């Protein structure tokens, strides 16, 4: 506590009264001002104000457990699947055995397939025989086809995949240029129906590029037709030799829209070189690779699959002006960093086929951080009302206000035996208490 004694004229003291009053209103929930007293001496006003320094606020991530969440097809109860796309140029291109010697075991391998193109029998055979799971990212046929031809191609692929017992993932083509959300949803739903008939072991993935995050909900086909949501993101280099924006912040825009609905895949690439100057920025890429993977494996509990896109656009001669090298198999530092990440405790050690229709207690991450003030925790009004479904009439206790958001003491909810709190170094977890 800091005691300040200030000798003021009567006019200045009156101004101080108003200032203290305003400050008290603005900061009454922050504990900045305790009180102010005024006294008069020899015609002059002496103001004694007791001023508290603002308390130390610490932001902590807030997670909460949501009971009885239905599991999606092939969704693991615990852990995160690890996968890769390795069909590009470079070391171990297309060779699962060679890739895993370098980078460690992976559960899923991705394949980009043009709908109506040649069926990749060798790829399917290699993945299935090794006990791995194929993931097909379908692309719209190069030539314009009618709707009838499109669905005939989809049915032909479904019958091919239906021959195999192995679980698989299929990501239908993105919306066509100019296609409306309603038309895309109908096309997606019809494809899902076709695959349920001919390849019931295939889970369907609704994929979103982070550049299209603003239309992700608008085009969403609906829970009945989607098993997983996929997020595709690249950390590319800028001419300033840094990454263009924060890839995790971009992922957040999609993640928080869908975490209550479905488990998620994140397919990503981290650039170590750009055709801006062709200089290898190995350490920058290694640091970003570790940051992003560690965050996805610890701070995004509904991300149940991560697929690395081992692509070198520069060597592949992709038809774009700006090209990046996302490959990690051609660089010893990146290989070492990635391999170390593969020992993370949250990586699923086995693949769980089926599981659809079963229920699990799932951890969700709040959009809002909590406040730690001393040894006490405060939960934002937004999180309490929208995520934890606490009725507004039950919000009580001395609040803190930060950035125009009210925070309520968690202790008030402990007293009603509704939630238990687990404390961790950088986050807290709220667990509902079954009555």
Domains in the chain, CATH or no CATH each? 2-51 (no CATH), 57-62+362-432 (no CATH), 72-356 (3.20.20.80)
pLDDT of 222 over the 50 cut: yes
pLDDT of 243 over the 50 cut: yes
pLDDT of residue 18: 44
**What does residue 94 show for φ and ψ, rounded to 5 degrees?**
75, 5
pLDDT of residue 374: 81
**Which range among 83-87, 100-104, 171-175, 412-416 shows the weakest confidence by mean pLDDT?**
412-416
170-208 pLDDT, tens digit per residue, is: 999 999 888 999 999 999 999 999 999 999 999 999 999
Give the dihedral sign, CA 315/316/319/323: negative
Between 91 and 366, the more confident residue is 366
**Which range among 137-146, 149-158, 284-293, 393-402 shows the weakest confidence by mean pLDDT?**
393-402
Give the dihedral sign, CA 307/312/317/322: positive
State the pTM of this model: 0.86
pLDDT of 40 over the 80 cut: no
């Amino acid at each position: 506590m800091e005691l300040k004694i200030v000798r003021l004229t009567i006019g200045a003291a009156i101004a101080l009264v108003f200032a203290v009053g305003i400050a008290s209103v603005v900061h009454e929930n922050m504990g900045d001002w305790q009180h102010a007293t005024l006294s008069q001496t020899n015609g002059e006003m002496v103001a004694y104000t007791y001023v508290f320094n603002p308390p130390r606020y610490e932001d902590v991530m807030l997670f909460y457990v949501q009971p009885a969440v239905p599991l999606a097809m092939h969704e693991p109860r615990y852990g995160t699947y690890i996968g890769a796309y390795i069909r590009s140029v470079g070391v171990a291109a297309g060779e699962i055995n060679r890739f895993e010697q370098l980078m460690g075991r992976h559960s899923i391998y991705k394949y980009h397939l043009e709908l109506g193109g040649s069926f990749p029998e060798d790829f399917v055979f290699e993945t299935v025989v090794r006990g791995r799971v194929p993931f097909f990212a379908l692309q719209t046929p190069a030539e314009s086809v009618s709707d009838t031809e499109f669905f005939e191609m989809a049915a032909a692929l479904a019958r091919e995949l239906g021959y195999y017992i192995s679980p698989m993932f299929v990501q239908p083509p993105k919306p066509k240029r100019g296609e409306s959300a309603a038309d895309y949803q109908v096309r997606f739903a019809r494809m899902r129906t076709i695959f349920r008939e001919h390849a019931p072991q295939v889970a369907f993935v609704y994929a979103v590029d982070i550049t299209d995050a603003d239309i992700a909900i608008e085009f969403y086909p609906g829970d009945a037709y989607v098993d997983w949501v996929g997020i595709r993101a690249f950390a590319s280099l800028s001419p300033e030799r840094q990454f263009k924006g924060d890839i995790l912040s971009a992922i957040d825009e999609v993640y928080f829209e869908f975490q209550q609905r479905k488990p998620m895949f994140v397919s990503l690439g981290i650039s170590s070189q750009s055709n801006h100057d062709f200089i290898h920025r190995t350490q920058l890429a290694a640091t970003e690779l570790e940051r992003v993977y560690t965050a996805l494996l610890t701070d995004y509990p509904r991300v149940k699959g991560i697929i690395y896109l081992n692509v070198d656009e520069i060597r592949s001669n992709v038809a774009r002006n700006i090209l990046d090298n996302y490959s990690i198999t051609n660089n010893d530092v990146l290989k070492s960093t990635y391999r170390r990440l593969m020992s993370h405790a949250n990586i699923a050690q086995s693949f769980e086929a089926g599981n659809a229709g079963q229920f699990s207690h799932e951890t969700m991450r709040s959009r809002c951080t909590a406040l730690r003030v001393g040894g006490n925790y405060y939960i934002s009004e937004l999180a309490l009302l929208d995520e934890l479904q606490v009725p507004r009439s039950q919000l009580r206790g001395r609040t803190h206000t930060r950035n125009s958001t009210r925070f309520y003491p968690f202790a008030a909810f402990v007293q009603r035996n509704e939630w238990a709190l687990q404390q961790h170094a950088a986050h807290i977890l709220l667990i509902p208490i079954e009555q």
